Amino acid sequence: MGGTAVLEGSEAMKSPVPAGSAPKRRGERQSVQVIARAASIMRALERNPDGLSLGEIAKLVDLSRSTVQRIVDALDRENLVLASSTGRGVRLGPALIRLAKAARLELREMARATMEALSQETGETVDLCLADNEKVVFVEQVAGTHRLTAVSGVGESFALHCSANGKAILAAYDEARLARLKKKMKLTRQTATTITSWPVLEKELDQIRKTGVAHDREENSEGISAIAVALKGPDGQLAAISMPVPTSRFEESEAALVRALVHHCNALQERVGR
């Protein structure tokens, strides 16, 4: 056999490790960890716009005070945080405003993938609407795959009080904005089931706030029902994703459609930010 050594078992599978590769990988992992910790700190400050002390931050993000101090010092050098005018430690800094402007993310862009996934899962048409005074305007749509579908063109508008997307947005308005609308918005009848009374509509809006889902049961168009969930865009603008469905099919698939819509919209809202 001569002097050749034969390795068996796991030893035969091992390859030489290049010098310095292990420390490099550890350094990469540590860098990623620092970025994640910095993001956690900035999110804590986002939820507390008046500022937080280093100790308060440490408790919220579950890090040592010394670690928080090092990260905050680095963020401060980049103007991503600054000293709070209230004397409560630090708050988010002005550099974030420039970054946000540079991102210019539109809800329509962010919602497209969610709408496509929702339509593919259910076979139904999925719409994105934005609020515009006393109506909602369709700005994006993914058409359904069923032979019989409900479709409204991009650019069309519906009244707030008799559409699922409109009622979802109404339910998301604060009391002051809703009070201003009540003074000027007419609850015009569109079909036999349109709500034309503010007390009745307000009762339904309370229910929407509890469930997070608005319904249109042939209130805008006969033969068409719909469900919708309100969203808040990165710029604070209110929108709604809705699913219009022929009533004949809606009655048997409502529960499954509601589950799918809520699931996808909640995931999208998490990505957009609350």
Q: At 258, is the secondary structure helix, strand, or coil?
A: helix
So what's the pLDDT on residue 25?
63
* Single-letter amino acid, residue 116: E
Separation CA 43–CA 114 (nearest Å) = 24
Listing DSSP states for 86-125 in one string gives: TSSSEEE-THHHHHHHHH---HHHHHHHHHHHHHHHH-S-
What is the rounded CA–CA span in Å between residue 123 and residue 145? Answer: 5
Structural domains in the chain plus CATH codes: 22-102 (1.10.10.10), 107-272 (3.30.450.40)
Which residues are CB-neighbours of 110 under 8 A, at least 6 positions away? 234, 268, 271, 272
pLDDT, position 62: 93
The DSSP 8-state label assigned to residue 146 in this structure reads S
Q: Are 151 and 141 in contact (CB under 8 A)?
A: yes
- 117 within 8 A of 135, measured Cβ to Cβ: no
The reported pLDDT for the residue numbered 14 is 44
**How confident is the prediction along the chain (274 residues), in pLDDT tens digits per residue?**
444 333 334 334 444 555 555 555 655 666 778 899 999 999 899 888 888 999 999 999 999 999 999 999 999 988 898 887 666 689 988 888 777 666 545 777 788 889 999 999 999 999 999 888 788 888 888 988 877 666 677 778 888 999 999 999 999 998 888 888 888 888 989 999 999 999 999 999 999 999 999 999 999 999 999 999 999 877 778 899 999 999 989 988 999 999 999 999 999 898 887 5
The whole-angstrom separation of Cα 91 and Cα 43 is: 11
Cα gap 270→274, rounded to integer Å = 7
Q: For the whole model, what pTM was predicted? A: 0.63
